[in-house]
Amino acid sequence: MLDKDSKIYIAGHRGMVGSAIHRRLKKEGFNNFVFRTSTELDLRNQADVASFYEAEKPEYVFLAAAKVGGIQANNTYRGEFLYDNLMIQNNVIHQSYLHNVKKLMFLSSSCIYPKLAPQPLKEDSLLTGLLEPTNEPYAVAKIAGVKMCEAYRNQYGSNFISVMPTNLYGPNDNYDLQTSHVLPALLRKFHEAKMNNNEKVVIWGTGKPLREFLHVDDLADACFFLMNNYDEQDFINVGSGDEISILDLALLVKEIVDYQGVIEHDLTKPDGTPRKIMDSSKLEKLGWKPRITLMEGVKQVYKEAFVSKQTTLKG
Ligand code: GFB
């Protein structure tokens, strides 16, 4: 079990996942955190990360720092997604080993599974087929991170585990329409269309792909549970079972926002993987289940990001 006084480093504490893990731990009474913003510490820089570990000597590490984005960002910034993620995770995992971190959790992603792997995606489908081309560089980096945790456990006995979240949403998401994931993009598009009395909202692709969505607070709860209860080499899926087509998701957001116009498709934009739902039975058998339904979660996020605050959004 994590001790309340343990020194915990959350890499990426200002991102959607890192900030949710921070909220979850604070709620539990943890208060010995170490943080660095990306301006204070460039995690891609080996020497700087080494100095940081030497100075701070964290006992537990949540590795939630990563270059992330939606389908278009992944496909456009292919070099950066590969380089930045490999550098960040290599430096953090290696320094965690050198400084005897008691336990590290690496946050991976469901896109590491082969594009056409049997659904729901089971953990043993990893490396059984070709990846989805739009996010291959990101997936290759994340696979390397999972394998690095496994290899360090095998060779050095490091207690490093990896979790595989499905598509996430929640507070501190990215609402830039060029680089965001689908859910924040739809919330913004429908909200702005309503405010501006626009007749239509354009969504990317055919609307047919199926995706599973998990609220980031549920993910953070699963991370806390696994940090306390899971010490195995094999990585573990974290999903919600809430699967929906992109068109139905658009209709759900339309209803929540109460927008009266029509939906159009931009077929010049990619669909990506046709279906991506996790088999999370391994985690369920350990005794963890998500709590926030998609409807509740999206309503909550919409309220926080658009109704309560008058958010000024870029992009
Ligand atoms: O969320 P998303 O960008 O990523 O897109 P992926 C999911 C689906 O929603 C795709 C469609 O079929 C998009 O074409 N979509 C419709 C839109 N309208 C929009 C829109 O306005 N914006 C966006 N972004 N999509 C990512 C991977 O894949 O999932 C990452 O590229 C990562 O590597 C992440 O793993 C979780 O689910 O397709």
Report pLDDT for 308. 82
Instruction: Convert the pLDDT of each residue in 112-161 to its tens digit.
Output: 999 999 999 999 999 999 999 999 999 999 999 999 999 999 999 999 99
134 Cα: distance to centroid of ligand 1 (angstroms): 10
**Atom 7 (ligand 1): residue with closest C-alpha?**
182
Verify whether ligand 1 is closer than 6 Å to residue 219 (CB atom): no
167 Cα: distance to centroid of ligand 1 (angstroms): 9
Report pLDDT for 169. 98
Q: What is the rounded distance in angstroms from the CA atom of residue 5 to the CA atom of residue 37?
A: 22
Verify whether ligand 1 is closer than 6 Å to residue 85 (CB atom): no
Q: Which of 166, 162, 172, 144 is nearest to 305 (CA)?
A: 172
Report pLDDT for 311. 55
Query: Which top CATH class is 8-170+213-238?
Result: alpha beta
Report pLDDT for 89. 98
Nearest atom within ligand 1 for CA of residue 73: 31
3 state SS of 206: coil
**Atom 11 (ligand 1): residue with closest C-alpha?**
204
Which residues, including other chains, have CB under 8 Å from residue 271's CB and lie 6 or more apart?
Answer: 205, 206, 208, 209
Domain boundaries, the chain: 8-170+213-238, 182-210+243-276+292-307
Specify the CATH architecture of the domain 182-210+243-276+292-307: Alpha-Beta Complex (3.90)
Best probe residue, ligand 1, of 166, 174, 181 (max atoms within 8 Å of C-beta): 181
Stretches where the chain sits below pLDDT 70 are 310-315
